[in-house]
Structure 1
Amino acid sequence: MATRTPSKTPRRKAPTRNTKKQPQRTSFLSSSLFFKMVMFFGVAVVLYSQRGVFARYLGFVTDKIVYAEARSMPIDKVLDTHIEKSFGIDVSEYQDKISWDKVKEIEGGYPIEFVFVRATAGSNKTDKKFKRYWKKAKEKGFIVGAYHYYRPNENSLEQAENFIKNVTLVEGDFPPVLDIEKLPKTQSIDRLKVGLKRWLETVQAHYGVKPIIYSSESYYEDFLKDDFEDCPFWIANYTAFYKKIDSEWSIWQLTENGKVHGINTDVDINIYNGNSVQMKELLIK
């Protein structure tokens, strides 16, 4: 049998190998770059399309003078713009000591016509200063209103009963107010709305008048506007300067940093979207 001479293994040429692999690497990098560019532009399109939503939560709204300018806008300039309207404040136990004999005007000489006082919170809390502040505000001749701070994760009917047993309203007072600011932790938004409606219906049946709903503008736009459109709204937005208040709002809370002689802490300032005569249309008859 003949013996085969084993063939020699040829040397691999490094340049040849690199030359063959280089086009594949270039193709991969190009694909990766293309993918990243597509992702970037995709995200950009989504962000742009949702700019209105992000704007609300960041405190920006495109159809009004907003945030940076509004935050530096002196309160008296805002009030001057709405000088024909009625002004008021809202207080709670957080305004620890109030010298009611001195409470007359918002700093700058703007007369206070109405005062809202927190009455209750959740299913069992009563504001420590409610009875005193309610009595003093009435003695001073202010138009008064009472509000309930709603806790989304507590029973709505128990919360309504808590308000009813602590608040007596008469002719000339504001309707009861439901203050909703928080999102629920243990229930859906739909269930939250069911609870809010139960509170509103129970309280309306007791006092014979449709309650006012208080909330922030973003909360109002996203969760309340479409389902509770038949209620008067009291809306808080501290980051926008409205030259014209939305016609769907009865009251605009423009700042939490107001100054009032007789109140040692900052206080919320509110503008009723109308004059004194028009405001009487909202009051209990």
Structure 2
Amino acid sequence: MRFLLPAVLAAALGGCTASSKMDVLDIAPSGETVSSITAPAPPAPVGEGAPVTALAGSTPESPARSALFPPEVLPKEEVAFVAPSGAIRSAVSRIHPPRFSDAKPVSFGRVTPRHFAVHGVDVSRWQGDIDWHTLRKQGANFAWIKATEGVDHVDDAFRRNWIEAKRAGVPRGAYHFFYWCRTARDQAKWFIRNVPKEAGALPPVLDVEWNSHSRTCKHRPDKSDILEKMQVFLDALERHYGQRPIIYTSPDFYRDNLQGRFRDYPFWLRAVAEHPQKVYPGRDWVFWQYSGTGRAKGVSTHIDLNVFNGTERDWHEWLSRRVR
């Protein structure tokens, strides 16, 4: 098993090394909801069932942008809302052991998610109203929160989750689901407009995967176009937020496009049936998404479960560089 190496930490914190001047595939807007990571799971009872051993990803969002952000707090193409004052709790805060269960447990073999000290979740509107204080005690020591997709969709629950997770003392970051039929520049602007630049927030995440459920964007760019668009988006977010973004991906998209690429970026990998070392051989990773059918008190539906690749001390060191 590979624990977090200094090189990976450096990648997560390092400056931008490539700056693309091009963008490709400037196609008309979609006007649809894009599927992100996995389809929404049906509601399931919560509880303390079988130990957690599997994972999946995020979920699709509503195409309609609700009036989440009052216009008076919209600085010119900057951030759509101002987060409440106060910092996330200190990086030396208590780590809660995982008390999740799984509706569809998987045997990962010798190395399981339970071998990792720091667990967390990723969420979107499909989790409904979350009791973040309870979820934190269940083992949500960090959270990735769905923010945007494409250039015209904002997760209905983003603002609420962003604020409430912080109030509960959960370190959290936002992610963007990339839509292959819009330019990277426009998508970066949309994310920046809707996600606060806030001290203590985790790095932003770029979620790249094939969207087989799309109704309006069946196009699959070739590898060179994909890499170009990703670099444009990553560069824009790094310049704005001052942190190197994390790349989230799935096995098929990784196999088709990302093997051997973006070595100086931290990765968050989906691997719901086998350890990432088997699914993504040779790839260092910082976060592993191991189940999309998790159960936890504080959430009334299935929830995605993750681990940090390192010890509790590694986590505190990694987090301390962001909680200032």
TM-score where L is the length of structure 1: 0.67
Q: Distance in 2 between matches of 1:251 and 1:138?
A: 20
Look up the equivalent residue of 1:277 and give its one-letter code.
R
Partner of 2:302: 266
Q: Distance in 1 between matches of 2:144 and 2:160?
A: 13
Over residues 21-51 of structure 1, what are the superposed CA-to-partner deviations in whole Å (9 max), with x where a residue is unaligned?
Answer: xxxxxxxxxxxxxxxxxxxxxxxxxxxxxxx
Q: Distance in 1 between matches of 2:263 and 2:277?
A: 23
Look up the equivalent residue of 1:155 and give its one-letter code.
T
Unpaired segments ≥5 residues, structure 1: 1-65
* Identity of matched residues, %: 30
Deviation of the 1:203 alpha carbon: 0.8
Q: Distance in 2 between matches of 1:119 and 1:198?
A: 19
- The structure with more radius of gyration: 1
Q: Distance in 2 between matches of 1:217 and 1:256?
A: 15
Alignment partner of 1:240 out of 274, 277, 283: 274
Deviation of the 1:104 alpha carbon: 2.7
Decide whether the 8 Å contact of 1:145 with 1:175 is kept in 2.
yes
Matches within 5 A, 1:132-281: 132-182=160-210, 185=219, 187-241=221-275, 248-279=284-315, 280-281=317-318
Look up the equivalent residue of 2:223 and give its one-letter code.
I
Partner of 1:118: 146
Partner of 1:100: 132
Partner of 1:46: none
Cα distance, 1:273–1:247 mapped onto 2, change above 3 Å: farther
Partner of 2:29: none
- Greater relative contact order (Cα < 8 A, sep 6+): 2
Q: Distance in 2 between matches of 1:253 and 1:199?
A: 22
Q: Distance in 2 between matches of 1:265 and 1:236?
A: 20
Partner of 1:73: 107
Deviation of the 1:165 alpha carbon: 0.8
Q: Distance in 2 between matches of 1:99 and 1:251?
A: 23
Look up the equivalent residue of 2:150 and give its one-letter code.
G
More displaced stretch, 258-267 vs 91-100 = 91-100
RMSD of aligned residue pairs (Cα, Å)? 2.7
Q: Distance in 1 between matches of 2:238 and 2:276?
A: 31
Structure number with the higher helix fraction is: 1
Look up the equivalent residue of 2:154 and give its one-letter code.
T
Deviation of the 1:97 alpha carbon: 2.4
Decide whether the 8 Å contact of 1:104 with 1:261 is kept in 2.
no
Q: Secondary structure at the match of 1:249?
A: coil
Cα distance, 1:281–1:241 mapped onto 2, change above 3 Å: closer
Look up the equivalent residue of 1:196 and give its one-letter code.
M
Cα distance, 1:71–1:241 mapped onto 2, change above 3 Å: farther
Deviation of the 1:243 alpha carbon: 8.6
Deviation of the 1:101 alpha carbon: 3.6
